[in-house]
Amino acid sequence: MPTKQAVKKSTGKSGSTKKFEAEAINKKLSKSEKLKLYKKIVAIRRFEERSLQAYNQGKIGGFLHLYIGQEAVATGIVSLMEENDHIITAYRDHGHALAVGMTMNECMAELYGKYTGCSKGKGGSMHYFAPDKRYWGGHGIVAGQTPLGAGLAFALKYKGLKGCAVCFLGDGAVNQGSFMETLNLVSLWGIPVVYVIENNGYSMGTSLKRSSAEESLAKRGEAFGIEWSTCEGHDIFEVRSAANKAMTYARDNLKPYILEIRTYRYRGHSVADANHEKYRTKEEIENYKKNKDPINVLKTKLLADKTLTEASAKEIDREIKAEAEASAKFAEESPYPPKSEITTDVYWTVDNDSDNQLKGTYFFND
Amino acid sequence: MIPTINLKELIFSTTRKRDTMALITYREALKQALAEEIERDENVCIMGEEVAQYNGAYKVTEGLWEKYGDKRVIDTPISEAAFSGLAIGSSMLGIRPVVEMMFMSFSYVAFDQLFNNASFCRYMSGGLMNVPIVVRGPANGGTNVGATHSHTPENLVANHPGLKVVCPSNAYDAKGLMKSAIRDNDPVFVMENTLLYGEKWEVPEEEFIVELGVANTLKEGTDISIISHGRCAMIALKAAEILQNEHAINAEVIDLRSIRPLDEDAILNSVRKTHRAVLVEENKPYCGVDAQISHLIQYKAFDDLDAPIHRVSAIDAPQIYSKPLEDWQIPNEQRIIDSVLKCLA
Ligand SMILES: Cc1ncc(C[n+]2csc(CCOP(=O)(O)OP(=O)(O)O)c2C)c(N)n1
Ligand SMILES: [Mg+2]
């Protein structure tokens, strides 16, 4: 049982940032690996900016929950994934998707509801999946993914594979019963799942203070004997450092871990949330952008260690913008799914009934 | 010459004589109902996610927190099971909470509270208690948000004796049914529709209610009965207009308004007159509300039927995200017209 003292809490105060780059997990990064991280977070930003443009042009409808501001969290954690590690998240899922290597084309086409989308236009913005990349969604119901994350980790343990599942959730999602039930279960059964609480301070228009009685969210783990810590989410090296400890702990000890990462979303809850400057101040938003923008923070560091030059950074940005633009063109030119697609992918057995062996009626249309 | 149909007026011409009317949105009608009931009864309060300070995700409760304060309009964490159950418990001591589900889809995380506790407490106590709560929120597809956010669970609710459920199709019914639901001594689900929130209808300025269990004839007709509920009733009405103008078919359109209790007489009387029925609902077909209505008609009006009963419902699959496909998946005018023509063939 972890005692209070055993629980490590990183405060992530500024000034200590040097330390994170010096840590082994970051120090070992080659120049090209660091560049790759940089390109990923820029790609997430530019992809989403382009998707927003498409939304505003009326080419995408429904909900669009942008990850802008939080990019270093998914990018940092995905960069630590080992062969048997899996991830799962909620509806704010574009960043995680690109981080695991889904292409802009398939992601953009999905937003457009096109047949070439990652889910053939069936899932939409909130429901991206890439099992081949060990990315299990993309889930629209708040905290609905939290027991699933436990299940992924349970399966690893069951099969005797060394790995962990990382399950992302928001600061609002912690108040769902399913999450609290799952915390007990994963601790009781010794399941190697890491819950990453992406604490961006708000659940829709509700600040953390107004939704959680106790402001330290990760600390809830103590009630279940779960190790926890917190860190800042704007510096990808800090994210990697904290997440590496959490993931290693889970893998090595077959135990759960809760990592609360303080981050910020620049945009409204979804694009439809036009009110987001009413429940928080403009200064608060500007302040974060100015001082903690994850792209700028990383860029500054990579300029300093000569991984980047102003010119190469500009060139990367240009290339990535072009890629995002091309994905929009790809999406636009792609076809919608045919009507017959409405009733495929519902049942495995129906989809795989090549020899017409199925008994019973599966669909009930007049 | 066949007269054209005035959608806005027909809706309640059969239900009451004209008062002074105001043209208001479905959203505004709901808000008026909530405000009037808060004023009328000190035990009425509203709770849900973003209902107070944010003015509601869909602005149904806009201004109510400002006017009535923290005690009557209460923001909750994202804990549907907890606040639904809390509402049920408080109703045992006489509070009359109106619980907003930001989407009715989210009621699924509170399934036990709503479908076990709200529905069965009265029964299991041998009638010693009752649960006067309202659960309200949008229950519709057609908004391009995918399968997890597009549920129309009126059939699930109706399948639980002890629960009541209504599906207002227009602003008049939204206001009248909401007021009845709040005054009702049993748990009532009010299934709203995000696509209707911004639509306007004439609503009396004087106070009124619409009783649960009373259907509405939206359009009288002689050739076929189109029976529907919720937004589909409005689509059915438009389809009837096209049928009248382009096919010289005089369809009767019945809006059930209330699913449980159900106005059986309205359904049977209409079918006895027209001898044919097309049932239209947005829900998936299997075990849907219209499966029960179809049974009712064949059981009680078998000899009156000149053709099999036809159904138009969502194409039987999880809700697809892709907008043009979703628009085809849920009932639209064309699919209703096709079905009517088939039924009359
Ligand atoms: C069960 C359920 N209730 C409500 C919602 C509507 N909803 C979607 S996201 C959200 C806020 C979640 O906030 P948080 O967990 O902090 O994540 P963030 O959006 O900040 O990433 C709400 C209320 C939902 N999708 N599912
Ligand atoms: Mg949040």
Per-residue pLDDT of A255-271, as tens digits, reads 999 999 999 999 999 99
Instruction: Give me ligand 1 centre to Cα B103, in Å.
Output: 11
Residue A364 touches chain B, beta carbons under 8 Å? yes
pLDDT at B1: 37
Whether A169 and A179 have beta carbons less than 8 Å apart is answered as yes
Q: Which residue of A has its CA nearest to B82?
A: A177
Q: Which ligand 1 atom lies nearest to the CA of residue A269?
A: 19
Q: Which residue of B has its CA nearest to A276?
A: B54
Q: What is the mean pLDDT of each successive set of 10 residues along chain B, which is 345 residues long?
A: 47 59 97 98 98 97 98 98 98 98 98 98 97 98 97 98 98 98 98 98 97 98 98 98 98 98 98 98 98 98 98 98 98 98 97
Q: Is B102 in the pocket of ligand 1 (CB under 6 A)?
A: yes
Candidates A140, A143, A176; nearest CB to B149: A140
- Taking the CA of residue A219 and the nearest CA in chain B, the distance in Å comes to 18
E strands, chain B, are: 21-25, 44-48, 73-75, 96-100, 134-138, 164-166, 188-192, 200-204, 216-219, 224-228, 251-255, 258-260, 277-280, 310-312
Count CB-CB contacts under 10 A for residue B10. Answer: 16
Q: How confident is the model at residue A321 (pLDDT cuts 50, 70, 90)?
A: very high
Q: Which ligand 1 atom lies nearest to the CA of residue A144?
A: 1
What's the Rg (C-alpha) of chain B? 20
The residues of B carrying an active-site annotation are 80, 149
Candidates A172, A339, A343; nearest CB to B78: A172
Residue A90 touches chain B, beta carbons under 8 Å? no
What ipTM does this complex have? 0.93
Whether A260 and A197 have beta carbons less than 8 Å apart is answered as yes
pLDDT tens digit sequence for A107-145: 999 999 999 999 999 999 999 999 999 999 999 999 999
Which secondary-structure segment (H or E) carries A118?
A: none
DSSP at B101? P
Whether B167 and B259 have beta carbons less than 8 Å apart is answered as yes
Candidates A113, A121, A177; nearest CB to B79: A177
Could you tell me which of A10, A78, A68, A49 has the C-alpha nearest to residue A292? Answer: A68
Cα separation of B216 and B13, whole Å? Answer: 9
- Angle of helix A294-304 relative to helix A310-333, nearest 10 degrees? 140
Could you tell me which of B93, B128, B97, B127 has the C-alpha nearest to residue B114? Answer: B97
Cα separation of B76 and B112, whole Å? Answer: 19
Q: How many helices (H) and strands (E) does chain A have?
A: 14, 7
On the 0-12 / 13-18 / 19+ scale of CB atoms within 10 A, B178 is buried
* A89 CB-side CA count, 13 A: 32
Count CB-CB contacts under 10 A for residue B111. Answer: 14
Residue A204 touches chain B, beta carbons under 8 Å? yes
E strands, A125-243, are: 165-170, 193-199, 202-203, 206-207, 227-232
pLDDT at B9: 53
- Taking the CA of residue A211 and the nearest CA in chain B, the distance in Å comes to 5
pLDDT tens digit sequence for A223-280: 999 999 999 999 999 999 999 999 999 999 999 999 999 999 999 999 988 878 889 9
Backbone angles phi, psi at B25, to 5 degrees: -80, 160
Residue with tokens 């043209």: B23
Q: How confident is the model at residue A4 (pLDDT cuts 50, 70, 90)?
A: very low
pLDDT tens digit sequence for A157-210: 999 999 999 999 999 999 999 999 999 999 999 999 999 999 999 999 999 999
Decide if B109 and A139 are in contact by the 8 Å CB cutoff: no
Could you tell me which of A112, A113, A114, A69 has the C-alpha nearest to residue A92? Answer: A69
Cα separation of B85 and B73, whole Å? Answer: 17
> 3-class DSSP state for residue B162?
coil
User: Domains in chain A and their CATH numbers?
Assistant: 4-351 (3.40.50.970)
Whether A298 and A76 have beta carbons less than 8 Å apart is answered as no
DSSP at A267? S
**What's the average model confidence in pLDDT over A148-163?**
98
Q: Is A269 in the pocket of ligand 1 (CB under 6 A)?
A: yes
Q: Which chain A residues are within 8 Å of B311, Cβ to Cβ?
A: 366
Q: Which ligand 1 atom lies nearest to the CA of residue B106?
A: 1
Spacing of C-alpha B281 from chain mean position: 11
